[in-house]
Chains A and B, each alone.
Chain A
Amino acid sequence: MILLQLFLVFFKIGLLTFGGGYAMLPMIQSETERYHWLTPEELIDFIAISESTPGPFAVNISTFVGMETAGFPGAACGTLGVTIPSFLVILFVARHYDQFRKSRIVNGCMAGLKPAVIGMLAASLFSLVQTVLVPETGFTWNSPIFYISVLILFIMGILSFRKMHPIIIIFLSAFMGIGMGYLTEIL
Chain B
Amino acid sequence: MKNKSAQLFLTFLRIGAFTFGGGYAMIPLIQAEVCDKQQWLTEKEILEIITIAESTPGPLAINAATFTGYRTAGLRGAFAATSGVLLPSFLIIILIYFVMEQFMECKLVQYAFLGIRIGILALILKALYSMFSVCEKNIFSYCIIGLSCFLMMFVRIKAIWLIVGCAAVGLIYTMLLCNKEEKK
Contact = CB atoms under 8 A, between A and B. Distances in A.
Interface string A10-24: 001011111111111
A176 B115 CA distance: 6
A45 B114 CA distance: 9
A175 B126 CA distance: 21
B177 to A, nearest CB: 9
B32 interface: no
Interface string A69-113: 000100100010011011101110110010011001111111111
Nearest to A97: B48
Contacts, number: 371
Given A31-B159, A68-B97, A166-B21, A87 B66 contact: yes
B56 A17 contact: no
Interface of A is mostly: helix
Contact of B128 (A72, A122, A170, A182): A122
A115 B162 contact: no
8 contacts: A47-B124, A59-B93, A104-B178, A112-B171, A114-B131, A116-B166, A120-B159, A170-B116
A17 B163 CA distance: 8
The 6 A-B pairs at the shortest CB distance, nearest first, are namely: A112-B170, A177-B115, A55-B89, A86-B58, A181-B111, A173-B119
B145 A118 contact: yes
Given A18-B57, A20-B60, A104-B175, A132 B93 contact: no
Interface string B126-154: 11110110011000111011111110110
Given A48-B117, A115-B166, A152-B119, A20 B53 contact: yes
Contact of A157 (B59, B122, B147): B122
A108 B21 contact: no
B17 interface: yes
Interface of B: 16-24, 48, 51-63, 66-67, 70-71, 75, 78, 82, 85-86, 88-90, 92-94, 96-97, 100, 107-108, 110-129, 131-132, 135-136, 140-142, 144-150, 152-153, 158-160, 162-164, 166-175, 178
A165 to B, nearest CB: 9
B58 A160 contact: no
Interface of A: 12, 14-27, 30-31, 41, 44-45, 47-60, 63-64, 67-68, 72, 75, 79, 82-83, 85-87, 89-91, 93-94, 97, 100-101, 104-129, 132-133, 149, 152-153, 156-157, 159-161, 166-167, 169-170, 172-182
A167 to B, nearest CB: 6
Given A54-B17, A122-B145, A63 B94 contact: yes
A83 B131 contact: no
Nearest to B52: A93
Contacts of B149: 119-120, 122-123, 126
A177 B111 contact: yes
